[in-house]
Amino acid sequence: MQQIALAPPGTQACTLDIKKFHCTFPVLPSHKPWLVVQGLPNQFFIDHAHPFGATCASSNAGMITNDVVDIWKAEGVFPVPKYEDDLKVFCVPSPPGTFHDGDSSYDYDHTKMLCHIAPLHVPWHEEKGDNHFLFITTFIGFQWDIPQKLVSLPDDKCLKFHKCVRHFLNDFQGLP
């Protein structure tokens, strides 16, 4: 990720995750029998996947996270990579910044960042994500070490995937 490779010294990040996002943003067919979805730039199509009852739609959450990112960008909170309901907000040092952490000053902190989008009432997951900006954090299953400019798979994930491979090999051992 370029955000890691090009991060100036003092850069921090904060992970946010929308709580149960597949269940949080329903589509009410009488209100919205279809959704307009953007594919490639300037290419739109109509998604009719929700006309038969109030169901969840990941594109609804995607639209909400897009709005969150757009608002933050307009307010000077960026860069913000996202994956569906997972957001990684970066905070780079700014000499005139009014928020201080160690030797660095920043233009915003966790509280200020969330104040910009408070009217949206986004339900953040309490256990997934960070309560403040960090130098080392996890995002979409990877550990991001910003000072070391390193993105890696945490040990518990390595062990999980290693176990899956071992089970697969054991289950298929001896088959023709």
Domain boundaries, the chain: 2-172
Radius of gyration of the chain (CA): 20
Angle in degrees, 0-180, between the axes of helices 58-74 and 110-117, rounded to the nearest 10: 110
For the ranges 27-31, 40-44, 131-135, 166-170, the one whose mean pLDDT is highest? 131-135
Paired sense of beta strands 136-139 and 142-145, if any: antiparallel
Model pLDDT for residues 141-172, shown as the tens digit of each residue: 899 999 999 989 999 989 998 999 998 898 88
pLDDT band at 44 (very low <50, low <70, confident <90, very high): confident
Nearest partner of 61 among 102, 105, 23, 11, judged by Cα: 23
C-alpha span between 154 and 143 (Å, rounded)? 6
Structure tokens belonging to residue 103: 């030797």
Taking only the tens place, the pLDDT of each residue in 14-36 is: 999 988 766 666 666 676 677 77
**pTM for the structure as a whole:** 0.75
Closest residue by Cα to residue 47 from 39, 32, 37, 57: 37
